[in-house]
Amino acid sequence: MHTPLRGSEDYIKAAQSARQIINKITANFTQHYPDSKAFPYSLFYIYYDQYTYIRSIAVENLLLALAVVFLAVVLIQNLKLAVIITMAVLITTFNLIGVVYLDNLLFKDHGFIIEINAISVVNLITCVGLAVEFTAHVAITYSKETGSRMKRLENTLR
């Protein structure tokens, strides 16, 4: 049985403590019944279980996305352009993470907090896609143009 749970932290702690209790019970129980398994269940565990591993999934997905960007540009163009585009995408993503962090610092007293959950991670990965869209096309077009720097820039922006 749970005490009254009021916020996300309470729900996460309740799910973690229930998992720890079940693991202790299961360790004793499996000595007599080795094929049996037990797990904690409550309706809110389904939703709040993601908070136990969402940060590692976010980092993993971001690194995979950056690796795919790098490899795709290497295959399409060259190594130098791939490094430039990947760094631009990394900087854009890092800036978005910084804006979220600052937002949480500035507006936490007003109840406007952006939590790391499945929705925010999807938006972060979408940021990688949008950053590629806006940097790769410009960089690749610029690299294909001929003439002086200003002429190449003018043709690229056109």
pLDDT tens-digit series, residues 75-130: 988 999 999 999 999 999 999 999 999 998 988 888 788 888 888 899 999 999 99
- 40 within 8 A of 15, measured Cβ to Cβ: yes
Cα 139 from chain centre: 25
Task: Give the pair of three-digit tokens for residue 123.
Answer: 């938006």
* Run of H or E residues at 152: helix 149-157
Question: Tell me: the pLDDT tens digits for 17-48?
Answer: 888 888 888 877 777 777 777 778 787 877 77
* C-alpha dihedral, 108 to 109 to 110 to 114, nearest 10°: 10
Number of helices followed by number of strands (H, E) in the chain: 6, 0
- Residues of the chain with pLDDT > 70: what percent? 100
How is the chain split into domains, by residue range?
Answer: 8-49, 53-157
Query: Which whole number is the average pLDDT over 126-148?
Result: 92
CA-CA distance, 39 to 21, in Å (whole number)?
10
The pLDDT, as a whole number, for residue 92 is 94
CA-CA distance, 55 to 51, in Å (whole number)?
8
Amino acid sitting at position 10: D
* C-alpha dihedral, 18 to 43 to 126 to 59, nearest 10°: 10
CA-CA distance, 93 to 109, in Å (whole number)?
26
